[in-house]
Amino acid sequence: MSNNTADRLFSRVNMNREIIPFDFPIYTPSDGSPPVIVPAGDYTWTDAFVGLRTGEHRPVALFLGASTGEYYDGENTLVRANATWRPSPNFSLNVGYQVNDVSLPGGDFVVRLSSMTLQYVFSSTLSWVNLIQYDNFSETIGFNSRLHWIPEAGREGFIVLNHSVADRDKNDSFHSTGADLAVKFNYTWRF
């Protein structure tokens, strides 16, 4: 359902099926207790989702969504929220937060994901996008920065920087786990 200002309220029911050929650890607690295992098997489950999205034409656009239902042989509740601020056609800032509350026979866990995306469009041929993301599951903060240049149709170049830091020993002390810089250029030949 949507109105004439492009605000939308929507819902859906998902029916899922997944065949797991072997036991796998879906969550490993940081306190050293045994991992939560999903046993091998044929799983079917149903969940329901409801969401609200405001029109993207506004300076501030919001998305709120929640789902709940079965998950493998347990239950999962998911809540998501995103806010996007566009003070001009060239600049946007998106902040997001997601919580997954999972309850399985082998144990319960909560995964939280936070993200922030900053985008600046210099012109129709040059843009810069930056993403920072953190999750409590891996205790990792990831940073991705991408400069995208399109000098003409069929040609585009990228400069991409990725860097991540992690708190492997869960003592609130983050250390670099990897960084890379890539330069790419694509050229399309038309025959």
List, for residues 15-30, the tens digit of each pLDDT value.
999 999 999 899 887 7
Per the DSSP assignment, residues forming a β-bridge with 116 are 95, 132
| Residues 94, 168 within the same domain | no
Measure the CA–CA gap between 104 and 94, rounded to whole angstroms. Answer: 32
Of 54, 87, 110, the position where a domain reaches its end is: 110
Pairing of strands 36-38, 41-53: unpaired
Boundaries of domain holding 75: 1-110
| Residues 106, 142 within the same domain | no
| Residues 38, 131 within the same domain | no
* pLDDT at residue 188 tops 80: yes
| Residues 71, 33 within the same domain | yes
More confident residue, 150 or 28: 150
Least confident stretch, 1-5, 52-56, 136-140, 183-187 = 1-5
* pLDDT for res 77: 96
What's at 46, amino acid-wise?
A: T
- Asked whether residue 117 is assigned to any structural domain, the reply reads no
| Residues 85, 136 within the same domain | no
Tokens representing 79 are 């809540």
Domain count, the chain: 2
CATH number, domain with residue 126: 3.10.450
CB count, 10 Å around CB of 147? 16
Q: Look up the pTM and report it.
A: 0.80
* pLDDT at residue 67 tops 80: yes
* pLDDT at residue 6 tops 90: no
- Asked whether residue 115 is assigned to any structural domain, the reply reads no
Query: Once rounded to an integer, what is the mean pLDDT over residues 165-174?
Result: 79
* pLDDT for res 34: 87
| Residues 104, 130 within the same domain | no
Query: Once rounded to an integer, what is the mean pLDDT over residues 1-9?
Result: 79
| Residues 128, 99 within the same domain | no
Tokens representing 87 are 């003070």
